[in-house]
Amino acid sequence: MKKRMIALLAAVLTLSSAVCMTASANDAESDLAYVQEKGTLVVGITNFEPMDYLDADGEWIGFDADMAKAFAESLGVDVEFVEIDWDNKVLELDGKTIDCVWNGMTLTDEVTSAMECSDAYCKNAQIVVVPAAAAEDYQTVESLADLNFAAEAGSAGEAELEALDLNVTPVKAQADALMEVSAGTSDAAVIDSLMAAAMVGEGTSYEDLTTTIELNSEEYGVGFRKGSDLAQELNKFFEESYQSGDTMKVAELYGLQLAIIGGTQTEAEAETETEAQTE
């Protein structure tokens, strides 16, 4: 009888140990648990107005920065912003130098295959920037053939230029691409249309530059490590924030309200639908 009790106890202990090991393994695989345990969500960004940029006090602000702060708060953790080399964003994620890439990131096939991505939250396009004095000469894709472009390395802009077989010099950031055009070391740049709206033209730092044609249309998402449960957690946060109106309040601060995606609609689409229903 005693031997049977010992054998039964050993079996129970073995089963208990297996359950604990499984739970421990599941916790180890959970990015949510990992971030909450260390108490900080580390967000990989570049300096990209109006999504992530520094204010006069050296604090990161912008639509993405503000939303990242709110998401971190919902998780009960602090947020830390780290400037990254955009071309190395997947390596930074996988090496756990950062926990997510949240910086107006276009949801390309390359991105979605390498990262666990959130639902799309914002509309964008890649747009050509040239000196204002020359804008009339560059209103079609065909007219761009002889131009030397600058674009951020690893960006959707660089990918569009390469797909069109146009001459492109990769630079560290989209802001650097604008500086290249302003300095005359590049004929043109391709950057995100949302950035162009904030930084190019009358009343901006680049009044001598202007935009011409859009090369595509695209959507932004947030990238996590492949298989991360934080992506689904962020989708829940996005839905709740949109329904409460908080997302649109932040968007209005940065002039992005017409680009925001709520569910499957942008605000502009929702307004159009509302106008059609009232006619």
Tokens 């964008």 found at = 124
Does the model's pTM come out above 0.95?
Answer: no
Spatial contact of 215 and 226, defined as CB atoms under 8 Å apart? no
Question: In this predicted structure, what is the pLDDT of residue 21?
Answer: 36
> Angle CA(43)–CA(48)–CA(50) in degrees, nearest 5?
100
Q: Which of 222, 156, 166 is nearest to 194 (CA)?
A: 156
Question: In this predicted structure, what is the pLDDT of residue 262?
Answer: 82
Domains of the chain are: 31-123+219-278 (3.40.190.10), 126-216 (3.40.190.10)
Block mean pLDDT (10 aa), the chain, length 279: 42 39 49 97 96 96 98 98 96 97 95 97 97 97 97 96 97 96 98 94 93 96 98 98 96 94 52 39
Strands (E), 172-266: 188-192, 209-214, 218-224, 261-262, 265-266
Question: In this predicted structure, what is the pLDDT of residue 54?
Answer: 96
**The residue count for the chain:** 279
Question: In this predicted structure, what is the pLDDT of residue 29?
Answer: 80
Tokens 């396009």 found at = 125
**Token pair belonging to 113:** 């295959």
Spatial contact of 155 and 46, defined as CB atoms under 8 Å apart? no
Distance CA 73, CA 40 (A): 10
Q: Which of 74, 128, 111 is nearest to 221 (CA)?
A: 111
